[in-house]
């Protein structure tokens, strides 16, 4: 839309712009939500900030970006035809392949005609008189809808570090989320990467292959384990295709929707030799097995967690030649698996290369970004390129960036000041007709498996309301209190919840996000679905319907 058009629209609600449902976000979740709402015959519009399909896989184009989930466990399961048609080329698809896949889905189901790109939703205000939501885009265009559905992602609000001088740098710089669409050359360049989370680990490994010199600025090392990616040959793809029902059944049965299920044994139930052999096997296998398919107690029992941490530390020491460097790369403030485990393809060996250096910013903090590079407490580094791999204001960040107001103008951000309060991760008391796909207090994991369920549940509720002339659906205060309490209780005893990470809502770069909160449901997806199914089967009596 041109500036002139925007100005014409500014502040004006267009009568033609009234919808039954508005979905925010055109990623994995939003695309499927659109598909399902069309099946109900509703008038739907999707708003998306980006200029293309794909959400995470549209934005994150940095070198090395790829799944840590097995591709064939990540794709949509809802369409047998789609499963039949799509061939995954790699076990863990790189970003371009996934972006192609999601575009293929959008074309196949003719989704594009209801998606409005370049359209960031800035505000959403509920009107009690009409039981409808007023939506305002960043450019001032306004729309109305009965149901507002957020599919805005858990990792879609990128954060920059709080370092002075970022804007003064004269070279090229960018956050990994906002990676340019044009190729970026590293050959002969002096490159800085700030951050050592999952994204950084992928990017560093790739950039180190060609950069003139790469300097990594690390605050918190993470426990990474090998990905073991490989191409999928035609024959293997045929086998995968034949096994889709089993693959999805395993995912649905596992706590994190991955194809890896926890081993039923406890760490101390086996001998040391058996333990070592099991861990060697997991370390040599592709994917999240070492995290999700490990002994059942490694994320709840401190002694068990210490043992697996020591095993992985040994691996790092074997792979990094310089013992002092290896020690810097071994996490000391959290145990293995208590943060999201990044999977890597030669990350540790990068630090054996002469063109790679590591700066521990706990020892020598970054003081500022300068026009030429980065100044720490003991040195000034010059760079051609600075890459901010500094992650996201996770889970609630994308909500906080929209002015969402419910009954009596109450802001969602204020309501959640002390942590999210939801019913089933979908509804919020005081915000009728707002439905969140994969909202806070839903379970995380292999995302599309959980997102498909979430979309189906939201669609079921809208169908129910639509069929009965119900124009207002809201969580009750009791329902929210019960669910929030249940989420807290199921999180007790999990070592993950004792650690600062994006999964516990901590981001040192975001004001007000310094203390841990319970952000996600950790009772496992099978239990989560049981709760949600029971509510639907009971005709949604636990909700306030009118
Ligand atoms: C680098 C990276 C690697 C990952 N790897 C894996 C993996 O291996 N396995 C896995 O299961 N998950 C992975 N994830 C998580 C990933 O986010 C999910 O798998 C999935 O893509 C989320 O889909 P979504 O549609 O819910 O959200 P997103 O893909 O985040 O899409 C949300 C969309 O909403 C849009 N949006 C947000 N706010 C607004 C607004 N106000 N107005 C308009 N549009 C808005 C955004 O622009 C975005 O396009 C990864 C995430 C990242 C960042």
Average pLDDT over residues 117-137: 98
Average pLDDT over residues 498-527: 85
Mutate to test the pocket of ligand 1, among 23, 47, 55 (most ligand atoms within 8 A of CB): 55
pLDDT in tens, 206-232: 999 999 999 999 999 999 999 999 999
Average pLDDT over residues 324-351: 97
Q: Whose CA is nearest to atom 34 of ligand 1?
A: 25
Q: Please check the confidence at residue 106 and state whether its pLDDT lies above 90.
A: yes
Mutate to test the pocket of ligand 1, among 32, 33, 47, 56 (most ligand atoms within 8 A of CB): 56
Q: How far is the CA of 404 from the centre of ligand 1 (A)?
A: 20
Question: According to the model, what pLDDT value does residue 47 have?
Answer: 98
> Is 143 strand, coil or helix?
strand
What gap in Å lies between CA 513 and CA 522, rounded to an integer?
Answer: 20
Q: Please check the confidence at residue 509 and state whether its pLDDT lies above 90.
A: no
Question: According to the model, what pLDDT value does residue 9 have?
Answer: 46
Give the confidence band of 493 by pLDDT, cuts at 50, 70, 90.
Answer: confident
Q: Please check the confidence at residue 246 and state whether its pLDDT lies above 70.
A: yes
Q: How far is the CA of 268 from the centre of ligand 1 (A)?
A: 38
Q: Please check the confidence at residue 68 and state whether its pLDDT lies above 70.
A: yes
Contact 217, 366 (CB under 8 A): yes
Half-sphere exposure of 395 (CA within 13 A, CB side): 28
Question: According to the model, what pLDDT value does residue 513 have?
Answer: 86
Give the confidence band of 303 by pLDDT, cuts at 50, 70, 90.
Answer: very high
Nearest atom (ligand 1) to Cα of 29: 25
Closest CA to 463 of 18, 28, 36, 31: 36
Q: Please check the confidence at residue 10 and state whether its pLDDT lies above 50.
A: no
Q: How far is the CA of 27 from the centre of ligand 1 (A)?
A: 6
490 CB-contact burial (10 Å; exposed 0-12 / middle 13-18 / buried 19+): middle
Of 510 and 44, which is predicted with more confidence? 44
Give the confidence band of 16 by pLDDT, cuts at 50, 70, 90.
Answer: low
Average pLDDT over residues 86-108: 98
SS3 per-residue string spanning 101-123: HHHHHHHHCCCHHHEECCCCEEE
Question: According to the model, what pLDDT value does residue 7 have?
Answer: 40
Question: According to the model, what pLDDT value does residue 67 have?
Answer: 95
Q: How far is the CA of 155 from the centre of ligand 1 (A)?
A: 6
Q: How far is the CA of 276 from the centre of ligand 1 (A)?
A: 36
Q: Please check the confidence at residue 409 and state whether its pLDDT lies above 50.
A: yes
Question: According to the model, what pLDDT value does residue 234 have?
Answer: 97
Question: According to the model, what pLDDT value does residue 4 have?
Answer: 38
What gap in Å lies between CA 68 and CA 205, rounded to an integer?
Answer: 15
Q: Please check the confidence at residue 435 and state whether its pLDDT lies above 90.
A: yes
Phi first, then psi, for residue 375 (nearest 5°) are -110, 120
Tell me how many helices (H) and strands (E) the chain has: 19, 20
Which is it for strands 380-382 and 172-175: parallel, antiparallel or unpaired?
Answer: unpaired
Give the confidence band of 2 by pLDDT, cuts at 50, 70, 90.
Answer: very low
Report the chain's C-alpha Rg in angstroms.
Answer: 24
Average pLDDT over residues 525-542: 97
Nearest atom (ligand 1) to Cα of 437: 26
What gap in Å lies between CA 180 and CA 128, rounded to an integer?
Answer: 43
Q: How large a percentage of the chain has pLDDT more than 70? A: 97
Question: According to the model, what pLDDT value does residue 3 have?
Answer: 37
Nearest atom (ligand 1) to Cα of 119: 43
Average pLDDT over residues 35-42: 97
Q: Please check the confidence at residue 263 and state whether its pLDDT lies above 90.
A: yes
Average pLDDT over residues 18-28: 98
Q: How far is the CA of 296 from the centre of ligand 1 (A)?
A: 29
Q: Please check the confidence at residue 11 and state whether its pLDDT lies above 60.
A: no
Tracing tokens 């008391």 back to the chain, one arrives at: 429
Contact 361, 218 (CB under 8 A): yes
Q: Whose CA is nearest to atom 23 of ligand 1?
A: 28
Q: Whose CA is nearest to atom 26 of ligand 1?
A: 153
Give the bridge partners for 125, in sequence order. Answer: 134, 405
Give the pair of three-digit tokens for residue 338: 């208590």
354 CB-contact burial (10 Å; exposed 0-12 / middle 13-18 / buried 19+): exposed
Q: Report the chain's mean pLDDT, rounded to a whole number.
A: 95
Contact 55, 26 (CB under 8 A): yes
Give the confidence band of 518 by pLDDT, cuts at 50, 70, 90.
Answer: confident
Tracing tokens 């509703």 back to the chain, one arrives at: 42
What gap in Å lies between CA 474 and CA 480, rounded to an integer?
Answer: 10
pLDDT in tens, 170-184: 999 999 999 999 999
Q: How far is the CA of 239 from the centre of ligand 1 (A)?
A: 29
What gap in Å lies between CA 114 and CA 92, rounded to an integer?
Answer: 30
Lowest mean pLDDT among 59-68, 75-84, 422-431, 512-521: 512-521
Average pLDDT over residues 459-465: 98
Closest CA to 29 of 156, 153, 155: 153
CA distances from 83 to 71, 111, 449, 535 (A): 12, 18, 14, 30
Ligand 1: list residues with CB < 6 Å: 24-30, 47-50, 55-56, 58, 60, 65, 67-69, 74, 120-121, 151-156, 199, 398, 402, 438, 446-447, 451
Lowest mean pLDDT among 53-67, 147-161, 462-476, 509-523: 509-523
Q: Please check the confidence at residue 87 and state whether its pLDDT lies above 60.
A: yes
Give the pair of three-digit tokens for residue 344: 């890597």
């Amino acid at each position: 839309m041109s500036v002139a058009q925007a100005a014409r629209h500014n502040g004006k609600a267009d009568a033609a712009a009234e919808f039954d449902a508005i979905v925010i976000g055109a990623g994995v979740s939003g695309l499927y939500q659109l598909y399902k709402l069309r099946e109900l015959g509703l008038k739907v519009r999707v708003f998306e900030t980006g200029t293309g399909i794909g959400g995470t896989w549209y934005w994150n184009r940095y070198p090395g970006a790829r799944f840590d989930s097995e591709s064939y466990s990540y794709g949509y399961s809802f369409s047998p035809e789609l499963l039949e048609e799509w061939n995954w080329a790699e076990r863990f698809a790189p970003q371009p392949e996934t972006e192609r896949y999601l575009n293929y889905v959008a074309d196949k189901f003719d989704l594009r005609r209801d998606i409005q790109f370049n359209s960031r939703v800035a505000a959403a205000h509920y009107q009690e008189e009409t039981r409808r939501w007023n939506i305002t885009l960043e450019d001032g265009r306004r729309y109305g809808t009965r149901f507002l559905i957020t599919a805005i992602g858990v990792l879609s609000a990128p954060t920059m570090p709080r370092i002075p001088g970022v804007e003064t740098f004269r070279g090229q710089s960018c956050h990994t989320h906002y990676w340019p669409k044009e190729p970026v050359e590293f050959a002969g360049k002096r490159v800085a990467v700030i951050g050592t989370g999952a994204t950084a680990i992928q990017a560093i490994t790739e950039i180190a292959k060609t950069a003139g010199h790469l300097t990594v600025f690390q605050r918190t090392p993470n426990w990474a384990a090998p990905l073991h990616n490989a191409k999928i040959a035609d024959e293997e793809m045929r086998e995968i295709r034949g096994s889709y029902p089993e693959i999805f059944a395993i995912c649905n049965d596992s706590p994190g929707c991955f194809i890896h299920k926890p081993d039923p044994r406890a760490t101390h139930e086996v001998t040391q030799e058996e333990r070592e052999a099991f861990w060697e096997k997991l370390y040599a296998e592709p994917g999240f097995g070492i995290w999700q398919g490990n002994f059942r107690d490694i994320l709840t029992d401190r002694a068990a967690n210490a043992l697996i941490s020591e095993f992985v530390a040994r691996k790092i020491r074997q792979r990094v030649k310089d013992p002092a460097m290896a020690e810097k790369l071994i996490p000391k403030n959290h145990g293995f698996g208590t943060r999201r485990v990044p999977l890597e393809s030669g990350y540790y060996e990068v630090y054996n290369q002469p063109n790679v250096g590591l700066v521990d910013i706990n020892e020598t903090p970054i003081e500022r970004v300068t026009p030429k590079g980065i100044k720490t407490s003991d040195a000034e580094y010059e760079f051609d390129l600075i890459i901010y791999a500094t992650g996201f204001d996770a889970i609630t960040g994308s909500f906080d960036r929209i002015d969402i107001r419910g009954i009596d103008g109450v802001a969602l951000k204020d309501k959640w000041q002390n942590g999210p309060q939801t019913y089933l991760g979908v509804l919020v008391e005081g915000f009728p007709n707002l439905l969140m796909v994969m909202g806070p207090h839903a379970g995380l994991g292999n995302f599309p498996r959980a997102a498909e369920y979430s979309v189906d549940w939201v669609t079921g509720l809208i169908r129910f309301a639509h069929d009965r002339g119900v124009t207002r659906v809201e969580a009750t205060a009791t329902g929210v209190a019960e669910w929030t309490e249940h989420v807290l209780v199921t999180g007790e005893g999990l070592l993950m919840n004792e650690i600062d990470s994006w999964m516990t809502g901590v981001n040192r770069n975001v004001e007000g996000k310094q203390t841990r909160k319970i952000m996600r449901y950790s009772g496992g997806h099978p239990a989560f679905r049981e709760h949600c199914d029971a509510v639907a089967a009971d005709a949604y009596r636990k909700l306030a319907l009118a």
